[in-house]
Amino acid sequence: MFSKILIANRGDVALRVLRACKELNIKTVAIHSTADNDSIHVRLADESVCIGPAPSSKSYLNIPAIITAAQLVGADAIHPGVGFLSENPDFAEIVEAHNIVFIGPKPEHIRCMGDKIEAKITAQKLGIPLVPGSENDIYDFENAYEEAQKIGYPVLIKAASGGGGRGMKVALNEEELESAFTAAKSEAKAAFGDDRVYIEKYLQNPRHIEVQIAADKFGNTVHLGERECSIQRRHQKVIEEAPSPAIDNKTRNTIGEIASNAVSKMGYLGLGTIEFLYENDEFFFIEMNTRLQVEHPITEAITGIDLVREQIMIAAGLPLSFKQNDVKINGHAIECRINAEDPRTFIPSPGKILQFHSPCGLGVRIESCIYSGYEVPPYYDSLIAKLIVHGNNRNQCILRLKQALREIVIEPISTTIDLHRDILNTEVMKKGSYDIRWLENKLLNAN
């Protein structure tokens, strides 16, 4: 087992990794920017190293600074957390080249799945169902026109190196194709430095369902059920729940086995999530995330398995602590992503938190780095807390979550707490009958 892990991240995920390390009796090192000098994970870590000024490009994305920090403190492993460098294959390779263990998948799998076109080709070879679309990137408008004619409108143009909804444009018909193609390429270039795009069928009312997998070096590969992530705004997840209210046990086991068999064939190592669109009882591959997911706590809640602990153990060369038959779904869990944003305009709301009260009660969990007096910096993602609630069934879970949302206090900055309260009170949420476009349609109708 590792003796010291450097946590190459910030916020709630850094604190989550730190807690797992403490349970494994591993010393921790927190890196941080000058903006995060007073962060909780920095205070709680055994050691801390400031690696640069506030902008992430000069700190949390600064590979030489992170490697230097790891060498200075004698860390034998680096956990990349979520976001930042967690899916950067070059970073993983550099870490390994310095005789430090990267707590994540093999660089070649990160690289393969990070390229959306290569990921689709690989998924098809592995027997994962795909959305009908182009086999390669679209190099000019004439090529886009030809592919759209084959696929049939509406179509979705997507960045090959994309993520988080950037570089994605819809063309409902032939007249909209050229502007969508141009805009997608421009946005992809600006966001990822890569203007390659591909095209696929635009599904009308799908759900977004993802399958959590884990694999060790001994050939043990398991799936841990699915997460429902359809409540989104601009392709960003807002609320997730597990299990999905849309599928039954037979369907769950079928898609879980497809995902598990696929990563086994790859020789994959570590945690991963295969994401699907689900419409008319069919699953279609979107992408594979080769890292820990923001929404991993709801899977932990319904399975009782500590995913971060397993991730660290796999990287240390140890086998998974459980087999597929040990994975049992117990009850229901929902996660609300609470952002420092106006709940109506979604304009970021950084600033000092003067009052913070965490909700409590059976089945209630908060993942956050905030506290009374904490200054939310303007430089990073606006996610400041994740509220996770578990119940014996979905109805109990929703009732507990409503109460937790009544109890939580984060003031005076604006947050999306009121948005979550509104969503929980809708008939659609009660029935679980939403799709990926429901929330945005609801917001548009409200305005």
Residue 291 annotated to the active site: yes
Among the listed residues 17, 435, 440, 446, the one whose alpha carbon sits nearest the alpha carbon of residue 204: 435
DSSP at 35: G
Omega before residue 154 within 30° of 0, cis: yes
Cβ neighbours of 220 (radius 10 Å): 16
Cα–Cα distance measured from residue 363 to residue 422, given in angstroms and rounded to the nearest whole number: 21
The answer to whether 349 and 342 are in contact (CB under 8 A) is yes
3-state secondary structure (DSSP) of residue 217: coil
Q: Is the dihedral of CA 20, 22, 24, 30 positive or negative?
A: positive
In the block, tokens 């945005």 appear at 440
The answer to whether 295 and 227 have CB atoms below 8 angstroms apart is: yes
CA distances from 280 to 203, 207, 246, 248, 331 (A): 10, 10, 11, 14, 26
| Alpha-helical segments (H) within 268-416 | 296-303, 307-315, 394-407
- What residues are paired with 223 via a beta bridge? 213
End-to-end CA distance of the chain, in Å? 54
- Number of residues that make up the chain: 447
Could you tell me if 189 and 123 are in contact, meaning their C-beta atoms sit under 8 angstroms apart?
no
Contacts of 233 (CB under 8 A, 6+ apart): 346, 439, 440, 443
**Count of CA atoms in the C-beta half-sphere (13 A) of 27:** 11
Burial class (CB in 10 A: 0-12, 13-18, 19+), 387: buried
Question: Which one from 16, 207, 252, 291 is the annotated catalytic residue?
Answer: 291
Q: Which residues are catalytic?
A: 291
